[in-house]
Each structure stands twice: as structure tokens, then as C-alpha cells.
Structure 1
């Protein structure tokens, strides 16, 4: 790794989040000796890349820095001799997310970006791409760190480490950052005054909290956040605020991830999602409008800072977390962060070589996980089910095995089994066929034997 002239490449550089990434680098200008920032995108994203890339250049100039900002559609050029590679891409763009949400919801089944059928299909599209990127990294930047915040972050990270063999991979999520801020606020303390320990898998973790005097404050926080006198709240822009069952959280003795609402309060969350679907306001459709407004802002030749409106996008803090991981590795800062990494015995209840989302000290040689140990049975059972589902999804993504994909659908708690699982799988395969070459034989079979499936998907997408 270069110590004096860093090259950082971002795959998905045309993302609306890129200004936050640039802001994060600028904030750490004294820690990161950056020479080059390469923003890479695909031809379909060239216009957005141009808009956000020019804004990135303005931000760097306004900060008085001489960093070179390169915009490119050439992945090999972006990766060549990179020290860090960050990933924030979406295979199929936001239109793919619309399909992931609307097709399941049209059957009264949850459609969501990283949970249920939609989350599985995002992984099926994304995992082959991350593995292709890694093959190029082996040739072009064999010593680089891969910092992944492409969703579903846990599965993508596991595929990179376990199947791509890229041990220098760190997965990130913004959700724990919000939970930590919430805990500090509720206790009337600063974030530096508390120690928060997370464990689980991406979008499916729990956490405990201590103060500086060594007192555990988890039980107190459960009362403050979920007790009878508390108000339902979610710091996540893309998660509907429905109150968790207080007695259930009290029994767990741990604070849940916001995404646990889809499992602990499935009926209420599904009801709300179906209402949004009927109104033509699924999250993906809302985000498309938000992004349209953001890029209009980004076009302003006088805008040289991250606009506040970006916080409405739903992924705030993602990019800043990526910058801190880079700074902590570069400078051996040993920052306490929540990362998706190889388990290595951190959680007794999960396979040694799977990816977990845990608290860790980020060192020059990568994250050193804080040991968690065992979960209580109520959490252990569903966690092991979800990890088994993830491992099956990854296998299906790599092999294109229809049976494995169907098995993943059957295991997932948010997808009804039997006929419905197969119906959803077939419809989503048709909808995403452009980005699923590994399933080409099965897609052809469905097209030839189930014309009604093809027609249903086509009609539904017309009404998008």
C-alpha cells in the first residue's frame, strides 16, 4: 500500500452518495495522502457520473486540494494500482429495485431492497459482478483493500471473502451508526461516552450498550426506546416506524436492528408496504424522485458542498463510514466500528468462515473482531436460519442453480412456501433476465412453458 500517494477507486461513482464520499475524504485530508480519486460507472450511468463527477471536482477545489478526480467507464483503468476500492453500485439501476419491490407486493408478499424476495434477487444480480471485479483486482491491484457498501452488504461481502478469496474485504452498513447515535441521545450522553457492541449479520444484528463507568445500560435503553411510555421511532428513512413488542425485546435483553421489524412485526410492515404499492409509492419509486431532484441540485455549477437534501436519500453515513475505515487502515487508528467480516469464531452460533456483522477495532491489517460468544435461543434460531438462507443464495448466485434459488426462497421467513415461492421466483427471473445470465436456461424454459408468467410481469411493469 502506498503511504504517500493514495489512489482510491469507486465502482458506482455516479451514485448520488458520491458527494458524501468526497466530503468524508476532505474531512480526513490530513490523514489520507490522496493523489487520485477514480469514479467509475457503466455507460447507462454516464450522465449521472458526469454530473456528480464535476461536482466532486468542485468540492475538491473548494477545499484547496490538488487531488486528481478522474471520471471513467473503463474499469481496468480505475482499478490499476489502486490502494483502496470502494463499491456502491446497483446492478440494473433503480429500475431493478422497482421490480424487486413491486412484483412480490403485487401478490401480497413483502417487496424490499435487502429483505425477502427482493433482497435475494439483488444478491443474485450483484454477487457475480463483485466476483468479476475481484478477478480484475487480482491482476491490477493485488494489494488493495475492498470496501464494500453495495447491498445486500453481508452476502456480497461473504461472496468476496469466501468465494472470491479476497480476504482484504470489509463490508459496511449505515444502520449501526444510527443506532449508536440513538443510544447516546436517549441516555443523554455523547457517542464517545458509550461503548456499543454489535453482533449478527447485515440488517439482522443486535447490540448491547455500556457507559464509561462500566455499567451496562442495555436494559435501561430498552425501556427508553421500546417501553410503554416511549414513542415508535425509526432513524431509518426507508423503514416504516411500527413499535416493537416491548415484552419481546425485554425478554431478548438486547437491542434489535431496525430491520428486525420485518420479522418481529411482519403483518404491520407488510400492510404498510401493500398500501404504498397500491398508491404507487414503493420506496424505490420515491427514491427515483428523490434522486431526480438531487441530480438537478448537483448540476448547479456553484454547488461545491454536500447538500442537506442528500440525507433524505436513506443511506446517510454510509460513505463517511467508508472513509473512516480507509483512514483507520491507512493510519492504524484502531477505530471502533461495525463491519461485515469473516466470523473467525466471533459468534459461536455461526460457521467460522461465514460473514458476520460485528463490532471491531480497525487496524492496519484489517478489523480485529470483538468476541460476542453465544446468543440466547430466541435469537440464535432465527439468526442461524437467516445465515443458512444467505449461504444458499450465494450458492445460487454463483452456480445459477434454480433448485438452490427455490430453496433460498423457501427458507426465507418473509416468503410463503410452496406455489407462491415458485411463482415469485419465476416472475423475478423473467423481470431480471438481462442481469442473470447464470439462469439463462431456466429463464428460457419459463418463457417457453409459462407465457402467462411473462405477460404478467410485462403488464405489471407497464404500470410502474
Structure 2
């Protein structure tokens, strides 16, 4: 089996390689191709990848290339994990919205729109080249904003599934709190990418007993602290929101916090410099502990599970993925992309039925989904007015003058990445 990783020079990649090595029985990879335009990073990451596999006795070969067409040729699956503009662009996304009193974040709000505008055209070009070179390959998208990017891929007719590590991260945390193996925990995970709630924590499978009341009663303080939300919020909702919901439920508090400390982009850039220095050490043959602070925890397990289900008979039968709504949430269009549980096999994911959402959650999902539709239109067709409309529709913006200010700043900071400007 051959897998190609586009954005293979990312500091995330050793996490992925470690998962391939540990979980070889689920996904028998014979060849890994790391594709990246940055030859220097590729050399460092590729060298560590080979040492990780060798240390664990994995027979797969690792090749590196800046030639996308050659890298994806004959691949069974192509994983996308790229960042257009790098950490410098992320730094801008997290900074200029704060000048308007709005959230500065790389996937949510105005910064997330900027990232979508930069990313969607690049990803669609990559996907089209994959289709020309290897039309049978699955595309697994880990590139943010995952919901919008996956929607763009599916709208263009590509064999694509979106992947996020939020669900698997919560699964592992809940399992540890409840003293159960992670495989015994099944989440009733419903919403959009980075806008989800856990409506049930079931033991054994989708139809198992719901442990959510016990989790909140016995470990509510720990869960709330991890989400950085008051315990009372969880008690009143009776569900567990993802940590991205804090940007909605405590927006002004988050803006005050972000305005008084270095950006996450600056922290990550410093970590990346340190990690790349470590990767160059020929004695290093395992992922360093610092990588856990970089983000993307359990990404490798989720990626292996998804690829194994799409490409063969392995993988969990039910997984949380980003895929077409197709009636799963009846108040959304069928071509919206939702993040829900699905049965995954060679033909792709089929979402499981979900209970009717309370208007408290359905209203926010509908609003953000409408924004994502407008954001994709702006990414595909360009134009200042389309950017403005997307921002005006976003629940965290929603004011005419504010949307105008944010539009001006977004365009000013992204001239080098948006050809239509």
C-alpha cells in the first residue's frame, strides 16, 4: 500500500509516521511519500521518519519529493496537511481581527475565513492533479478549516473525507476519566467541524449505555477545566461542547485574553524551530515529547483508522468524519458538510442517524453552515463583496460596520496569497 502526504515537511509528520509504525497491523503501508515544496524541511522530516520506522522494525520505505505529480502517482490515499502562507500567515490571522475587537483564531471567525480563502484554491489544484494522475485515490483532508475545505473537495467531485482530531482527543480523555479502554468509548458527536457537541458518551458502541450523566456528575470539574469553561455551563447544557465552542460562549473573555499575550502562532513558530533542530539529530529515532505541545494529538490514530476503513477491511466500523450532510441534519442542505459519526468502508462514509437537535444547538449550526457556504463561494470566485457577505453572516461578526472593517483588514493582509485582489 502506498500513501502520499502532501505537506510532508510539516512538523506534524513524525506523529503520523509513529502511528503508521505502531498500527501496522491495521494499515500495512509499504511506501510513504512525503511531498512538500520546502526541500530543507523535507530532508529533516524524511530522515526522522526513516529512523522512526527502522527503530520499530517497520519495512516501509520513505521517499521525499517536491514533485506533486510524481509523489501522488499510484498512491492508494493522499493525506493533505498543508498551511498556505505558513506560520507567518497564521500570525496575521490571529492578530488583525483583534484590532476590531473580534476573535483572532486560525479556523474560527475572520481569521478562519482568511485561511479558507488562501487554502481552498491550492487544495483544489492539488486534488485535480491527484485525479488526473490517480483517479482512484482517496483524499483525506486534515487541512483547516476542514469543513470548508472538505466541502470544496466534495463539491468538485473528489473522493474526499475530512478528518479532525477533536473527537478522538475527547474520546481518549473521557476513557481515562472513566477508567475504560478508549475502544470502549463511543461518542454521540454532532455538528460542524470545530462546532460540535457530545450528546452521549456510550460504552461499547452506538447503542451502548450512555455514560455522559456519570461523566458529568463524577468528573465535570475536570472536563470543564480542560475546556476552559465554567462547570455550570456543562451542568446547564447537559452535554459536552468542543473546546472551540468557548470562542462562541465566552467570545469577549477570549478576546481580552488574546489581546494580552503572545499569539498561538508565535508559540507554534518557536516550537517548530526547536522541533526541526531536533529532527536534524541523527540519533533521534522517535517523536519527541515536545511534539505533543505542537497540537494534533492522536491525529495519527485517527488517520490510520480512517485510511484502513477506506482502503480495506480494517479500521473501526464507526468513525467521526467530515462528510456530506445528505439529510443527516434535516435543517441543513444536503451538500453541507457535517462532522458526525459514520459507517466507513471502501465506498466512503455513510452518516449514522442523529437525534433531533434542540434549537439551542441547531440555530448555531445553521448559522455557521450558512457562513461556510458563503465562505466557499468567496474562496472559489473571489471578490470583496463575497468576503464581506461571508463575514456579515458569521455569528461572531454580524454587524455591518464591523464586517466592513474586517474585510478591509483581511484583504490588506492577504494580497500576496489571493491573486484576484
Q: Does the CA-based 8 Å contact 1:12-1:88 persist in structure 2?
A: yes
Q: Does the CA-based 8 Å contact 1:173-1:339 persist in structure 2?
A: yes
Task: Determine the C-alpha separation between the residues in 2 that align with 1:428 and 1:308.
Answer: 35
Pick from 304, 325, 342 the counterpart of residue 323 of structure 1: 304
Aligned residues: 417
Query: How far apart are 1:215 and its partner, in Å?
Result: 2.8
2:190 counterpart of 1:209:
no
SS of the residue aligned with 2:100?
A: coil
Equivalent runs, 1:150-169 vs 2, <5 Å: 150-162=143-155, 164-166=156-158, 168-169=159-160
SS of the residue aligned with 2:377?
A: helix
- 2:241 is aligned to 256
Pick from 36, 40, 45 the counterpart of residue 41 of structure 1: 36
SS of the residue aligned with 2:286?
A: coil
Q: Does the CA-based 8 Å contact 2:305-2:315 persist in structure 1?
A: no
SS of the residue aligned with 2:311?
A: helix
Q: Which runs of 4 or more aligned residues in structure 1 lie more than 6 Å from their structure 2 counterparts after TM superposition?
A: none
- 2:9 is aligned to 14
Task: Determine the C-alpha separation between the residues in 2 that align with 1:250 and 1:352.
Answer: 33
Equivalent runs, 1:14-413 vs 2, <5 Å: 14-42=9-37, 45-162=38-155, 164-166=156-158, 168-207=159-198, 208-212=200-204, 214-226=208-220, 232-234=224-226, 242-244=228-230, 246=232, 248-276=233-261, 281-333=262-314, 335=316, 336-413=318-395
SS of the residue aligned with 2:202?
A: strand
**CA offset digits 1:8-64 (Å, max 9, x no partner):** 11110000011111111112323434332111112xx22111111111122223233
SS of the residue aligned with 1:302?
A: coil
**CA offset digits 1:178-206 (Å, max 9, x no partner):** 21122223333332333212111000011
Larger radius of gyration: 1
- 1:426 is aligned to 408
Query: How far apart are 1:334 and its partner, in Å?
Result: 5.1
Query: How far apart are 1:267 and its partner, in Å?
Result: 1.9
- For the aligned residue pairs, the C-alpha RMSD in angstroms reads 1.9
Higher mean C-alpha deviation, range 361-370 or range 199-208: 361-370
Q: Does the CA-based 8 Å contact 1:14-1:41 persist in structure 2?
A: yes
Task: Determine the C-alpha separation between the residues in 1 that align with 2:237 and 2:331.
Answer: 16
Query: How far apart are 1:290 and its partner, in Å?
Result: 0.8
SS of the residue aligned with 1:308?
A: coil
Query: How far apart are 1:224 and its partner, in Å?
Result: 4.0
The change in CA–CA distance for 1:231 and 1:329 in structure 2 (over 3 A counts) is: closer
SS of the residue aligned with 1:421?
A: helix
Query: How far apart are 1:349 and its partner, in Å?
Result: 2.4
**CA offset digits 1:311-359 (Å, max 9, x no partner):** 0102121233112211222332351321101112222222112111011
Query: How far apart are 1:245 and its partner, in Å?
Result: 6.1
Query: How far apart are 1:127 and its partner, in Å?
Result: 0.6
- 1:460 is aligned to none
**Which ranges in structure 2 are unaligned for 5 or more consecutive residues?**
none
Task: Determine the C-alpha separation between the residues in 1 that align with 2:401 and 2:12.
Answer: 39
Query: How far apart are 1:251 and its partner, in Å?
Result: 4.4
**CA offset digits 1:104-160 (Å, max 9, x no partner):** 123332100111111111111111111111211221010000011001111111110
- Structure 1 length-normalised TM: 0.86
SS of the residue aligned with 1:409?
A: helix
Q: Does the CA-based 8 Å contact 1:242-1:269 persist in structure 2?
A: no
